């Protein structure tokens, strides 16, 4: 008598539902309650990428999402596995990155009993997710997965968590329910109000000093093309946030650079002096406004376009609010634009160009400086390369000097500013864009927060090129202590640093020491030509500072420039 064929398990239904959503890669780390799922994965076409720490898998999913525009998926076991995801979930929530986070959970019969590795991960993450599900019936999995992906990627994107008890995954002979969504009360704002669109163009036609201010919402909405057309047709100066980098390609004549704490002098002066500020997909972060929303762009009529109505007038008083998708609204603006006369902006541009001439973003290119390394990397890497950064001084130098050509060619942790983000995020970026070159620019402090992910790079043979700017200190903290605490340095010296090249080689990754300016170009070229991963260790001075700098509590025109 032949053995009766078993029906579907909850784990198989989950994997099938993920496949229906187009999932090709899960970044994960296994544990006991997830064994039914890991067993089912052996028969699934979805690729699993094993990280070396749960924080690494959520950052990898984040990097994957940023450069691909797809929803990133990560997986961790219950208890400490789930809680190790919290920083990465918060990071995605801060930057509006679409993730579906899968966590293992103890069996439903043990919920609430403080059993081994039980935590209320839904309670812990409630403030940092768009929505969460605790699955108690495996038949609900197709609907829950469909809803989770829809919620993660629509409206203002963000992370959605699905908590998976072991018995739900292990249950056999499951007949799944249909995947019809039940999202009562969830509203997405799409196209703008027609009268408001006309008001934008009317305000523009009457202005003499307009500025277009682009943020991460431009990237999320894939509005790069519409933004560029608007800027060029109306001949608008454009400034960006850190998350908006790439909205216009580096070197575009209308682009003035980043605005805010480490923005260009020209961008800050222009925003301060403008009479019309058209803000698209921004939240007026305190790194832009110095936390002084009432003193930001005080001469301007402010038009704020954003998918999230909560952000409008939250920090800066808005005179005209338009809630909706940035790309659709900009496309509507372009349709109406020919109906009104455009302002004559020669005097305004004359002032802007004078600021650019008087206050160029300059650096020392005659010595081995981090700015010199980044400019050289930009010359050699090519316009289609993806650059990922960690957080700190190097992050700001990349924002200032790397020639980012497109908006999804750049990934960094912005709102939360997580050291250790870069290495695992570069893993996700390389897997999302396997045909493109991926460069990680990091510092010796940040790298050591996730250095174990070199193992993930080695195991998956990912040809990531790691640009390590090694100054032996926690550079940004040191700079602040130098400037604002009379040079009273405390706990910033990384005296126990290893030989990073030897560490890389221990993982089977090619390493190159770079100690002089004469070696820079050859070393980067060697790394690019090498078929596998490479770590380049650039020894730089700890005295290099990120400038310009708006000190805490100062308005954006009160910059330290040297």
Which residues are catalytic, by number? 54, 116-117, 166, 476
CA nearest to 203, candidates 350, 304, 296, 289: 304
Q: Which residues pair with 514 in a beta bridge?
A: 538
Task: Tell me what the pLDDT averaged over the chain comes to.
Answer: 95
Banded pLDDT at 1 (limits 50, 70, 90): very low
Banded pLDDT at 3 (limits 50, 70, 90): very low
Please list, in sequence order, all residues whose beta carbon lies within 8 angstroms of the beta carbon of residue 338, skipping any fewer than 6 positions away: none
Of the given ranges (9-13, 192-196, 408-412), which has the lowest mean pLDDT?
192-196
- Read off the pLDDT of each residue in 79-90 and give the average, rounded to a whole number: 98
Question: pTM of the full predicted structure?
Answer: 0.96
Q: Is a pLDDT exceeding 50 seen at residue 551?
A: yes
- Read off the pLDDT of each residue in 281-291 and give the average, rounded to a whole number: 94
Q: Is a pLDDT exceeding 80 seen at residue 71?
A: yes
CA dist., res. 426 & res. 463, Å (int): 10
CA nearest to 156, candidates 100, 216, 96: 96
Give strand ranges (E) for 397-524. Answer: 410-411, 438-443, 465-470, 510-514
Please give the pLDDT value at position 43.
Answer: 96
Question: Residue 261: what are its φ and ψ, rounded to 5°?
Answer: -55, -45
- Read off the pLDDT of each residue in 206-210 and give the average, rounded to a whole number: 97
Q: Is a pLDDT exceeding 50 seen at residue 5?
A: no
**C-alpha radius of gyration, the chain, whole number:** 25
Question: Residue 251: what are its φ and ψ, rounded to 5°?
Answer: 95, -5
Residue 522: left (phi > 0), alpha (psi -120 to 50), or beta? alpha
Please give the pLDDT value at position 289.
Answer: 95
pLDDT digits (tens, 9 = 90+) for 432-454: 999 999 999 999 999 999 999 99
Banded pLDDT at 554 (limits 50, 70, 90): very high
Angle made by CA atoms 478, 440, 154, in degrees to the nearest 5: 105
CA dist., res. 254 & res. 449, Å (int): 38
Q: Is a pLDDT exceeding 90 seen at residue 299?
A: yes
pLDDT digits (tens, 9 = 90+) for 509-540: 999 999 999 999 999 999 999 999 999 999 99
């Amino acid at each position: 008598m032949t053995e009766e064929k078993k029906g579907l398990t909850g784990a198989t239904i989950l994997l099938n539902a993920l496949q229906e959503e187009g999932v090709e890669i899960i970044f994960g780390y296994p544990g006991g309650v997830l064994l039914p799922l890991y067993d089912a994965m052996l028969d699934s076409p979805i690729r699993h990428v094993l990280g070396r720490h749960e924080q690494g898998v959520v950052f990898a999913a984040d990097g994957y999402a940023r450069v691909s525009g797809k929803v990133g998926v990560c997986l961790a076991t219950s208890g400490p596995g789930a809680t190790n995801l919290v920083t990465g979930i918060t990071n995605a929530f801060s930057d509006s990155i679409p993730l579906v986070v899968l966590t293992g959970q103890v069996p439903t019969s043990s919920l609430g009993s403080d059993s081994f590795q039980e935590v209320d991960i839904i309670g812990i993450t409630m403030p940092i997710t768009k929505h969460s599900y605790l699955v108690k019936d495996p038949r609900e999995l197709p609907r829950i997965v469909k809803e989770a992906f829809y919620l993660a990627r629509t409206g203002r994107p963000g992370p959605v968590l699905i908590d998976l008890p072991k018995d739900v995954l292990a249950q056999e002979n499951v007949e799944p329910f249909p995947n019809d969504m039940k999202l009562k009360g969830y509203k997405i704002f799409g196209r703008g109000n027609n009268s408001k669109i006309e008001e934008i163009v009317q305000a523009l036609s009457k202005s003499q000093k307009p500025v277009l201010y682009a943020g991460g919402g431009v990237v999320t909405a894939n509005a790069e093309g519409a933004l560029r057309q608007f800027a060029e047709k109306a001949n608008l100066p454009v400034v960006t946030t850190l998350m908006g980098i790439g909205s216009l390609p580096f070197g575009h004549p209308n682009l003035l650079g980043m605005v805010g704490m480490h923005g260009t002098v020209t961008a800050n002066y222009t925003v301060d002096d403008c009479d019309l500020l058209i803000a698209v997909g921004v939240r007026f972060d305190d790194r832009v406004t110095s936390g002084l929303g009432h003193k930001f762009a005080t001469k301007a009529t402010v038009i704020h376009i954003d998918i999230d109505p909560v952000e409008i007038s939250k920090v800066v008083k808005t005179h005209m609010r338009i809630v909706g998708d940035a790309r659709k609204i900009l496309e509507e603006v372009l349709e109406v634009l020919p109906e009104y006369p455009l302002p004559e902006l020669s005097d305004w541009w004359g002032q802007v160009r004078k600021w650019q001439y008087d206050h160029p973003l300059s650096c020392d290119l005659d010595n081995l400086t981090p700015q010199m390394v980044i400019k050289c990397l930009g010359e050699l890497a090519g316009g289609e390369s993806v650059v990922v950064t960690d957080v700190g001084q190097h992050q700001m130098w990349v924002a200032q000097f790397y020639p980012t050509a497109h908006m999804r060619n750049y990934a960094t942790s912005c709102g939360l500013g997580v050291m250790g983000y870069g290495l695992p995020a570069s893993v996700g970026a390389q897997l999302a864009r396997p045909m493109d070159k991926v460069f990680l620019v990091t510092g010796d402090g940040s790298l050591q927060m996730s250095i174990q992910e070199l193992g993930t790079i080695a195991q998956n043979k990912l040809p990531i090129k790691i640009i390590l700017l090694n100054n032996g200190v926690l550079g940004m903290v040191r700079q602040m202590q130098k400037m604002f605490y009379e040079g009273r340095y405390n706990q910033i010296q990384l005296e126990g640093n290893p030989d990073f090249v030897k560490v890389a080689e221990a993982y089977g990754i090619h390493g190159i020491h770079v100690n002089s300016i004469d070696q820079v170009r050859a070393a980067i070229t060697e790394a690019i030509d090498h078929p596998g991963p490479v770590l380049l260790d650039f020894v730089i001075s700890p005295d290099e500072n990120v400038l310009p700098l708006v000190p805490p509590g100062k308005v954006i025109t009160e910059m330290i420039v040297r």
